[in-house]
Structures are given as C-alpha cells and as structure tokens.
Chain A
C-alpha cells in the first residue's frame, strides 16, 4: 500500500468509527425503534405499526404540531422583519458600529436556559417588568404565560429576540453585496426610499431571506428549553413543543419506541416544510 493511502486510512479511522457508532447507527436505529415497544427495563418487543397508528390518533401530538404552527408563523415573519430592519440601520456609516452590532448579538451567546429563566420573570403577571411598563402607561397587566392564547406568542417573541443578532449578520453580509453602482443608478432615477427598498434592496436580499427562513424553521422546530422552563408545556398544553413532547415520552413515560417515532415524524416534517419554503420562495424569485 502507498504510504499516503496508509496514513489516510490511519488518520481517518477514529472519525469513521465515531461516525458509525454515534451518527449512522442512531439514524438506522431510529427507524428500527419505530417498530418497537421498549421501556429500557424489560427487553424490547416488536410492535408492528402500533407506534405509527398511535401517533396518527394522538391528540397531544397533533396539539403539539398545531403549537409549532402557531410558533413558526409568528417567529419566522417577525424574525425576518426585525433582522432586516436592524441590519439596514447598521448598514450605514455609524459611530460605534461595532458596539451596536455587539449589543444586538449579545442574547445569541447567552444560554437558552438563562434566557428562559430571565424572561419568565420579565413576563411574570404581578412582578414582571413588562407588565410594570404596561401599568405605567395606563394599560392593564397581561397574564402572558398563564393565558393559553398569549403563552405561545410570548415565547415566539422571546425566541425572536434571542436569535435576531444572528440573522442580522446574515442580512449585513447580503447588504454589502449590493453593488454601489446599482444604488447610485436607482437614486439618479429619482426613486423614493420605499421604491429603492422594494425594487432593489428586497429582491437583492432574496438568498439571505431564504437562508433566514430555512434556519429559523430548523431552529424553531428545536424549541424545547423555553417551554420546559417557562410553562412546562401549559397552559392547556398550548406551548407543548414537539421536542418537549418527545422528551416527556422518553424521560417521563419511558416509551422509547414512541418517542423515536415522534423524532422521525419531526425530522420528516422539517424536511417537508423546508422543501416547501424553498419551492415557494424560488417561485417568487422567478417572477
């Protein structure tokens, strides 16, 4: 064997072994688990399609799916608007530009667990900062996390706040690629600020917007620690996310087969939603 061939194998072996045990085996076993019933104590038993059938008729699962729809349909548009607005504000000659950028990015580096604990207190009905401000403005306090209607939107706003710094960076990178000559040309034509935004900036940023939509969808489906800490999935299971439901089935009910089935369904859902978004935005691009 050539020396290079030998060293190649040698250096790649630890990773190949790792990949087999901690990535490929779990992917394959996820599919096997769908057909098993297993509480981790007694040996697993073959369950045929029981898990899939159960999933199809499980009200709590479908409630969690509906919750994710609520969450994503607030989170994604809000994330695009806030990130784009702040990126455009930052994309000009500014005093302390690095400071502003760092300020907006700060929540990204903080653990989701901390942000959830902090925002539980900000959203608290009696002593929360947000209601304190509302009362000062002469408004009535809102039971943000204990009202089934406001709880999920409140969490969606918080997650948008936490991640916006990340998406600002994506949009800032895109804004720098819009050629100066295009900007000058459109200004010479006498376009208003709105027209410039609508016909130059927004279309030029389509690839970035597609990325923001995709990533905020993928990250959004991972929603776990926020409802786990802030609401426990309540009130009336309205904030029960799919990952929280999966975790509960595995950790509290010891139903490995069923939890894995939820995981597979979740992965398929993410793939389908992302593919659909790409199609829709791709069509918009063609027009």
Chain B
C-alpha cells in the first residue's frame, strides 16, 4: 500500500513536471521543423532544418536586439548593485536628518502600483526628448526600491565594530562599503543581481511605450512586434525568434537554479 502510494506520487509529479517542461521542449523542436510538421506532437523532427532561424535572422535585427537587451540589463543591474548599495549603506549605517523621511518614502513608493505612474512617467520621457534612446530604457531603472530595502536589511546586521575600526584606520565611507561590506554581502548581492537582471531582460511593456525604432528594440519587444506584425509569417519562425531570448536564460537557470528560485521568489513576480 505504501509502495503503491509512492509510485502514484512519482507518477503524478512526472505528469505535472511534463506539463511545465514539455511545452518548452516542443517549442525548441518546432523551431527545427519544416512548416508542414509543425502541428505534430513529436519532439524529434523527421527533417531537421535551420530555415526558421535563417528566416528570422534575415527579416529583423535580432542580433542588434540581443545586444540592446544585454546592454540595458547589464547597465541596470550594475547600477542597482552599486548605487543601491551606496544608498542602502547610508540608510542603514549613517545617521543623518533626512534618513527617516527617505526610509518612509521608499516604503511608500513600493506600495504604489506601477500602473499609476506608467503614463506620467511616459509623458516625462516624451518631454525629456528621450523617446527612442537608451536613456529611456535605462534611467528610470537606475535605482530600485526593493533592492535598496533588501540591501539595507542585510547591511543592518553587519557589526558596528567593523565600521568603527575602519574609520579609525582613516577609511572613507565608500571604501568601507566596497571593501568591507561588499565581500560580506555576496548572497544578498547575488539575489539582487538576478532579479534585477531578469526583470529587465523580460520587461516588455515599458519598451513598447518608449521605443519605436526597430534598431533600439530589446529582444522581448522585437519578438513581440515581429510575431504580431506578421513579419514572422509562420509559427516556426516566430518561435525561433523567441528562442534567442529563452536559451541564455535557460542555460543560466540550469546552473544557478537555487539562486534563481531564491531571488525571484523573494522579490515578487515580474515579466
């Protein structure tokens, strides 16, 4: 009876896992199939072809979009880590008069749904003349309130004696942050880095608002426009373009799954 229960459990788990994995496997295999094989369930194409990838690459600037996405996500992640740490350090470890107000404002901002500020932010970008620039994609994300609060929480636990003795040695605050705090904060830095990068890598609504020039589009935006505008022409081609966005993520996820889960589960859902 007990053994039977275990078999049933594993059977159920396998079935459940298949519903989460199979669509992605099917997607990968469909991109390698010629058009007439698309409607089949099999994972191994009878005739393997790279035509879908050739077509996709020739019809829209996916190489450029990959670079745009990498540039935007990397810049934002670096900024959120560096500027976020500096801010969190001040908010956690330096006593100054504006600090309680800054803490309160950060909490308040997190409670406001993004839909409220979407249009005012968009009109701001228009007035700054930033439509179709990298600045529009990057600048509004340079600081991240969730990241700052997480870093602050971690920085609060580092002993004051480390700061005191470093100051005695004549170290400045930034040096204390980057040479003493950062090495101790690797776990939280990794968590912040992953959810920031993934949030930016997968974001599509904001780019759809502020970028119209094809050469400045990020990957999720270009593949959405490509699939909707009929540029793809077929399911295989459209899924092939999606693979460009998915493959790097799946490779990173395969190696760092525990960190991904910890990071993305800790920060709420995005994308």
- Name A's B-contacting residues (CB within 8 A): 4-9, 11-12, 14-16, 18-19, 21-27, 29-30, 33, 38, 40, 86, 89, 92, 94-95, 98-114, 117-119, 121-122, 124, 126-129, 132-133, 161, 163, 165-166, 169-170, 215, 218-219, 221-222, 224-225, 228-229, 242-243, 246-247, 250-251, 256, 259-260, 263-264, 266-267, 270
Contacts and interface: CB of A to CB of B under 8 A. Distances in A.
B228 A224 contact: no
A18 B109 CA distance: 12
A15 B143 contact: yes
Contact of B21 (A4, A29, A103, A218): A103
Given A98-B258, A102-B257, A127-B39, A250 B202 contact: no
B99 interface: yes
Contacts of A215: 268-269
Contacts of B112: 23, 27, 267
Contact of A12 (B26, B91, B118): B91
A12 B98 contact: yes
A114 B220 contact: yes
A7 B269 contact: no
A43 B97 CA distance: 40
A113 B202 contact: yes
What's the interface size class on B, roughly?
35 or more
Given A12-B98, A122-B23, A132-B39, A169 B265 contact: yes
Interface in B16-70: 16-17, 19-21, 23-24, 26-27, 30, 38-41
A76 to B, nearest CB: 14
Given A26-B121, A103-B17, A4 B115 contact: no
Contacts of A266: 113, 115-116
A165 to B, nearest CB: 8
B198 A117 contact: no
B261 A101 contact: yes
Q: Which 4 A-B pairs have the closest CB atoms?
A: A8-B96, A127-B39, A8-B94, A26-B120
Contact of B260 (A95, A109, A129, A247): A109
Nearest to B244: A114
Interface stretch (B153-161, B180-188, B235-243): B235-243
B89 A11 contact: yes
B27 A118 contact: yes
Interface string B234-262: 01001100100110011001000110110
A126 to B, nearest CB: 7
A98 B102 contact: no
5 contacts: A89-B9, A92-B9, A127-B39, A215-B268, A251-B209
Given A129-B41, A256-B119, A243 B205 contact: yes
Contact of B173 (A11, A26, A111, A124): A11
A166 B201 CA distance: 18
A99 B120 CA distance: 43
A109 B265 CA distance: 10
B123 interface: yes
A118 B31 CA distance: 11
A19 B261 contact: no
B120 A30 contact: yes
